[in-house]
Amino acid sequence: MQDGLSLTFAALADPTRRAMLARLSRGEANVSDLAKPFLKEMSLPAVTKHLKVLEKAGLVTKTREAQWRPCKLNGAPFKDVSNWMEQYRTFWEESFDRLDAYLKTVTGNEGKKGKKHGRKK
């Protein structure tokens, strides 16, 4: 059994699924509307499989209202990804700050050397 974060990242790895999520970020859509942009490149069953991956990851919820099957985004898995990434954002920001401070000392010393040993007019 995979953890939720792994399912989310696997679902986000595919550009078709990311495009579906982008469409759903504008509001609810039924399966037919989600499928339209992809039907020239893939079959409806293939689109449905992509949607099932999104559902399994918990990124999308699909309900049933008579013949209409509206889909909408579920924000919880996105929050989990954001929380997981936050720890790495902090790490990299601190690393870049240290690198920046180091580069300032290196370039500062070279600037002083250049002035000290520069050409006389």
Q: What is the pLDDT of residues 27-57, one digit of tens each?
A: 999 988 999 999 999 999 999 999 999 999 9
Instruction: Report residue 121 as tokens.
Output: 């007019």
- Residue range(s) defining the domain that contains residue 54: 4-74
If one counts the domains in the chain, the total is 2
CA nearest neighbour of 21 among 115, 29, 85: 29
Q: Tens digits of per-residue pLDDT, 59-94?
A: 999 888 777 788 999 988 999 899 989 888 888 888
Let me know if residue 82 belongs to a domain: yes
Give, in degrees to the nearest 5, the angle at Cα 68 between 62 and 74: 20
Let me know if residue 11 belongs to a domain: yes
Are the CB atoms for 24 and 33 separated by under 8 Å? Answer: no
CATH, residue 22: 1.10.10.10
CA nearest neighbour of 31 among 68, 65, 58, 5: 68
Are the CB atoms for 93 and 24 separated by under 8 Å? Answer: no
Statement to judge: residues 69 and 102 lie in one domain: no
CB-based contacts of 15, cutoff 8 Å, min separation 6: none
Statement to judge: residues 85 and 26 lie in one domain: no
Statement to judge: residues 39 and 94 lie in one domain: no
pLDDT value at residue 121 = 47
Tell me the pLDDT band of 110, cut-offs 50, 70 and 90: low
pLDDT value at residue 113 = 54
Let me know if residue 53 belongs to a domain: yes
d(CA 78, CA 8): 8
Let me know if residue 94 belongs to a domain: yes
pLDDT value at residue 89 = 87
Let me know if residue 121 belongs to a domain: no
Tell me the pLDDT band of 111, cut-offs 50, 70 and 90: low
Instruction: Report residue 6 as tokens.
Output: 């792994």
Statement to judge: residues 91 and 65 lie in one domain: no
Statement to judge: residues 48 and 100 lie in one domain: no
pLDDT value at residue 87 = 85
At position 75, the amino acid (one-letter code) is: G
